[in-house]
Amino acid sequence: MPILHDGTSERPVTPLKQSIKPPRSAAVAGILFAVLYGSALVLMVLSIPPYAIADYEWVRTHARMVDFALILVPFAGIAFLWFIGVIRDQLGDAEDRFFSTVFFGGGLLFLALTFIAAALVGGLLSSYAIISSTLIESGVFLYGRSVLYQVLNLYAIRMAGVFMISLATIWLRTGVMHRAWAIVTYVLALVLLLSIGFSLWVLLIFPAWVLAVSVHLLVLNLRNPPDAASGEVR
């Protein structure tokens, strides 16, 4: 360690890339997202009838279950943002700018649409609690239900597919992940993109895929401990 003129020692400068490197435990973010989002989605599916033209009794009988699901959604969104950061860190300097833009944009759009859908459900619950008869008779309730399913089944689910396809393409071009992961991701993404109908169960494909990728990354980090000499944390 060099000695300065005033007798003090100069501290080594930590490289910027090393200082902003996320801990290996960050891979848990994907697992957390999968659990929270998957749980919220399952609660929604079990509580809300699967068709847009359906009775409104679920608002009265399953309101608490739906409220709990809505509480989970923002925390799932935070974990998903962290998951995106973990993936980008894994790519490092090999990140493709074009496909990374599509990957990042698709993830943000999926998250935004998910929040919009959750807000619609929360709005229906709040409105029903105040003016239930007016809400039903005016057709606003039916309209809100229809918009909710359009947002989730036509837009959010396809943005999730775009997110997966762009990431699979990056994996193929960079070789960061095994080729098999990219192929499986392509297949699952096509299911999301080409799905027809109002089935929220199809959306569970996305958190299941995120869970598998996160567990894989976590296992890789555990098998490759940080270099004690360099102090690098993965």
The pLDDT tens digits for 26-63 are 678 889 999 999 999 988 888 877 665 556 777 777 78
Mean pLDDT, rounded, for 4-27: 49
Number of C-beta neighbours around residue 107 at 10 A: 22
pLDDT digits (tens, 9 = 90+) for 54-112: 567 777 777 888 899 999 999 999 999 988 887 777 666 656 667 778 888 999 999 99
In the chain, where the domains are located = 27-218
Cβ-contact 200, 207 below 8 angstroms: no
Task: Give the H or E element holding residue 100.
Answer: helix 97-137
More confident residue, 30 or 230: 30
Percent of the chain with pLDDT over 70: 76
pLDDT in the model for residue 188: 94
pLDDT attached to residue 17: 42
Three-class secondary structure of residue 3 per DSSP = strand
Better pLDDT: 21 or 202: 202
Give the distance from CA 53 to its chain's centroid.
29
DSSP SS3 for 14: coil
Residue 227 has pLDDT above 70, yes or no: no
More reliable by pLDDT, 9 or 30 = 30
Does residue 160 carry a pLDDT above 50?
Answer: yes
79 vs 102: CA distance, rounded Å: 20
